[in-house]
């Protein structure tokens, strides 16, 4: 590139994977990236464009000629165009829309009006549709004629009057069937589909459950509106997982990349939850103040508060993480609450007893703490672990039942609840065991 040997550059780069070319382009300065982009064959250039980040796409669109942009807009898949329009600022959107006709603009507006993170916002209209009265031979001819511009041809969709979805058929079945047979005799009528307003997380579950590469999207009247392909669902799964991690860490979720997010926005995403948790932690201080007479009588009890609170918080977080993930994978439903509680009770009993036994050996034989205080601390530890694991397991299920995201019931919130509960247990056991 530095020596301006563009023919050599083209010769070397056209054999690379589109993703790798996109990564190379993003490492270059914009003028060099534009030159590299222009050396690519047109079809390859479209693929590379799809695999670059939205920030780079914006820079590219702002720098290339109108003719180059027009070619991209005519060749790019419809769902990729929608994703592009959602990411771009208004001035870039205006430039892109110049190259869409009236019908395309109507479709674009319809897609952009679907709720965020819904099936409608993910789907594409580039699919192969067939009529049930077509013969297999006619259907294959139709696929050859129209399939070149479709996102997938592996699954075809059979529609009836008013575009009602009546069946599906794979390309494999078409090729292996008698060419004289009508489609209606060999199509699959037991169809797995989603609705336009279904949440993208539900769509991801459908893909996983039925092992699909594409799923049809229908409206409330059962009319075929579009399809969602597996490549879009992979992005959804990544997005949903990232969102869950952020919520579990007590942050407002953000779809922006970390290095591209401003400091003030990062602070804003974290601040609200930190304020809530800070205020809720005052309950812990209130409990300690309430049992101040116990602490004054046996000052050494203070030394074991951090260990009890940390162990309880960690135990609760373990259960919460497992349950939240199981809910996300569809392995746990609200009806399974009692089964989960029973399982966590048994696990916590085993864990709590073992931890308490180890702790007793440390306190009584190594640190020479009195027998009554050692037993008090260890009994509290058993109760704290049991309580923490049950709370950690139940709260995410409760959140799901209340139609809240289970991830919000994660480590920080559960830790705050368990801290308060463990202190109450600790001081109550101490009063009972020590006769304070």
Average pLDDT over residues 291-319: 89
Lowest mean per-residue pLDDT among 88-92, 132-136, 176-180: 88-92
Cβ atoms of 378 and 356 closer than 8 Å? yes
Domain ranges in the chain?
Answer: 6-113, 129-228, 281-434
Q: Which residues contact 394 (CB under 8 A, 6 or more apart)?
A: 337, 340, 341
Determine if residue 435 is left, alpha or beta; phi over 0 gives left, psi from -120 to 50 gives alpha, anything else beta.
left
Cβ atoms of 159 and 109 closer than 8 Å? no
Looking at residue 393, its pLDDT comes to: 93
Tokens at 204, concatenated: 């991801």
Band of the pLDDT at 248, cuts 50, 70, 90? low
**pTM assigned to the model:** 0.67
CA 23 to chain centre: 24
| DSSP three-state, residue 134 | coil
Looking at residue 174, its pLDDT comes to: 95
CATH topology classification for 281-434: Tetracycline Repressor; domain 2 (1.10.357)
Q: Which residues contact 124 (CB under 8 A, 6 or more apart)?
A: 77, 78, 79, 151, 226, 227, 228, 229, 232
- Decide which of 283 and 229 is more confident: 229
Mean pLDDT, all residues of the chain: 88
Give the C-alpha separation, 395 to 400, whole Å.
9
Looking at residue 190, its pLDDT comes to: 94
pLDDT tens, position by position, 29-49: 989 999 999 989 988 999 999
Give the C-alpha separation, 143 to 127, whole Å.
10
Looking at residue 271, its pLDDT comes to: 85
Give the C-alpha separation, 309 to 418, whole Å.
7
Looking at residue 381, its pLDDT comes to: 96
Looking at residue 249, its pLDDT comes to: 66
Q: Is the pLDDT of residue 410 over 70?
A: no
pLDDT tens, position by position, 326-365: 988 888 999 999 999 999 999 999 999 999 999 999 999 9
- Decide which of 57 and 254 is more confident: 57
- Decide which of 113 and 308 is more confident: 308
> pLDDT above 90 covers what percent of the chain?
48
Concatenating the DSSP letter of every residue in 60-112 gives: HHHHS-HHHHHHHHHHS-HHHHHHHHHHS-HHHHHHHHTTS-HHHHHHHHHHH
Looking at residue 100, its pLDDT comes to: 76
Band of the pLDDT at 258, cuts 50, 70, 90? confident
Looking at residue 250, its pLDDT comes to: 62
Q: Where are the alpha helices (DSSP H) in 298-336?
A: 305-328
Burial 269-303 (b: 16+ CB within 10 A, else e): beeebeeeeeebeeebeebbeebeebbeeeeebee
3-state class percentages of the chain: helix first, strand second, coil last, to nearest 5: 70, 10, 20
Looking at residue 411, its pLDDT comes to: 62
Average pLDDT over residues 159-185: 94
Looking at residue 215, its pLDDT comes to: 96
Looking at residue 394, its pLDDT comes to: 93
Q: Is the pLDDT of residue 111 over 90?
A: no
Q: Architecture of domain 129-228 in CATH?
A: Roll (3.10)
Average pLDDT over residues 169-178: 95
pLDDT tens, position by position, 50-106: 999 888 998 899 888 888 888 888 888 888 888 888 888 877 887 777 777 777 777
Give the C-alpha separation, 336 to 201, whole Å.
21
Q: Architecture of domain 6-113 in CATH?
A: Alpha Horseshoe (1.25)
pLDDT tens, position by position, 381-397: 999 999 999 999 999 99
Q: Is the pLDDT of residue 244 over 80?
A: no
Give the closest residue to 93 by CA, choosing from 104, 82, 103, 101: 82
């Amino acid at each position: 590139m530095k020596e301006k040997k563009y023919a050599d550059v083209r010769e070397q780069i056209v054999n690379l994977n589109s993703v790798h070319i996109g990564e190379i382009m993003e490492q270059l300065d914009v003028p060099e990236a534009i030159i590299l982009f222009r050396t690519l064959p047109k079809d390859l250039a479209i693929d590379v464009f799809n695999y670059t980040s939205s920030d780079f796409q914006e820079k590219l669109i702002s720098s290339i000629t109108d003719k180059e942009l027009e070619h991209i807009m005519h060749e790019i898949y419809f769902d990729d165009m929608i994703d592009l329009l959602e990411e771009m600022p208004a001035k870039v959107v205006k430039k892109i829309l110049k190259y869409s006709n009236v019908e395309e603009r109507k479709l674009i507006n319809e897609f952009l009006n679907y709720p965020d993170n819904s099936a409608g916002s993910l789907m594409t209209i580039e699919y192969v549709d067939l009529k049930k009265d077509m013969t297999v031979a006619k259907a294959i001819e139709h696929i050859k004629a129209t399939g070149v511009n479709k996102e997938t041809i592996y699954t075809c969709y059979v529609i009836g009057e008013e575009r009602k979805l009546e069946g599906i058929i794979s390309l494999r079945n078409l090729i292996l069937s008698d060419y004289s047979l009508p489609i209606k005799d060999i199509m699959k009528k037991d169809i797995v589909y989603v609705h336009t307003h279904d949440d993208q997380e539900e769509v991801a579950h459908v893909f996983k459950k039925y092992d699909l590469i594409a799923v049809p999207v229908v409206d409330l009247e059962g009319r075929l509106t579009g399809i969602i392909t597996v490549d879009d669902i992979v992005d959804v799964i990544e997005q949903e997982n990232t969102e869950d991690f952020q919520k579990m860490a007590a942050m407002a979720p953000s779809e922006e990349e970390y290095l591209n997010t401003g400091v003030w926005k990062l602070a804003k995403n974290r601040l609200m939850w930190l304020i809530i948790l800070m205020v809720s932690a005052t309950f812990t201080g209130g409990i300690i103040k309430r049992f101040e007479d116990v602490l004054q009588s046996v000052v050494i009890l203070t030394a074991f508060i951090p260990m009890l609170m940390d162990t309880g918080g960690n135990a609760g977080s373990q259960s919460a993480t497992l349950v939240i993930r199981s809910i996300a994978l569809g392995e746990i439903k609200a009806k399974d609450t009692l089964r989960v509680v029973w399982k966590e009770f048994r696990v916590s009993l085993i864990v709590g007893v073992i931890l308490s036994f180890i702790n007793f050996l440390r306190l009584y034989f190594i640190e020479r703490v009195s027998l009554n205080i050692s037993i008090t601390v260890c009994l509290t530890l058993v109760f704290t672990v049991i309580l923490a694991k049950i709370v950690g397991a139940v709260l995410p299920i409760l959140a799901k039942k209340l139609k809240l995201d289970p991830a919000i019931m994660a480590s920080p919130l559960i830790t705050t609840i368990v801290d308060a509960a463990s202190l109450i247990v600790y001081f109550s056991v101490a009063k009972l065991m020590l006769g304070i």
